Amino acid sequence: MTSEPTLLIGLVSISDRASGGVYQDQGLPALQAWLAGALTTPYRLETRLIADERPQIEATLTELCDDARCHLILTTGGTGPSRRDVTPEATRAVGSKEMPGFGEQMRQISLHFVPTAILSRQTAVIRETADHAALILNLPGQPKAIAETLGGLKDAAGATLVGGIFAAVPYCVDLIGGPYMETDPAVCQAFRPKSARRPQGNV
């Protein structure tokens, strides 16, 4: 039996001020902390901290997919309506297929907290090359919003009120040829059709 490749995840924090050293980046630590608690599958990270410059964002996403061979790429920052917010444009430019459901769900989650969630332009795409593919997701810039978007909302008893987007990520990565991902159900219950599930821990 051939073992699957190690799950590779690219993390990109997009901020003029953080990349320029004006203040400490919070996006990468927030993403790293959430993934550490949610994933039970071994994985390796590739991290990048870059400015809000569309050519640089496009080049970074392309490099993480095509050269670093990441299966999943998460970005944070640059998804608002201001002139400097160009992450969605850069993401769509490098994508082969747009996955609009992710952005729709992210805004739905955030609307539980702030009406300005409708100003967010977060999106998702799949980038495909001849022999590889990666799912690229644009996430919010604030650590609290990152965790809520990925994991969803639960009530005081722990029941899910709104599902987080990460529940659909493992199956999406399956469908584009990436490694089988397992999650801690207490943090995020990954969903797959019964026909696509493997026995727990048997990857």
Q: How is the chain split into domains, by residue range?
A: 7-196
Indicate the length of the chain as a whole number.
203
Q: Which neighbouring-strand residues pair with 133?
A: 128
CATH of domain 7-196: 3.40.980.10
Q: What is the pLDDT of residue 163?
A: 82
Sign of the alpha-carbon dihedral angle for 82, 62, 14, 175: positive
CA distance 65 to 3: 21
The answer to whether 87 touches 138, Cβ cutoff 8 Å, is yes
Within 10 angstroms of residue 174's Cβ, the number of other Cβ atoms is: 16
Task: Flag whether pLDDT at 201 surpasses 80.
Answer: no
pTM for this prediction: 0.94
Mean pLDDT, residues 76-101 taken together: 96
Helix (H) or strand (E) holding 108, with range, is helix 100-110
* 38-69-106-96 Cα dihedral, nearest 10 degrees: -150
Task: Flag whether pLDDT at 203 surpasses 70.
Answer: no
Q: What is the pLDDT of residue 123?
A: 96
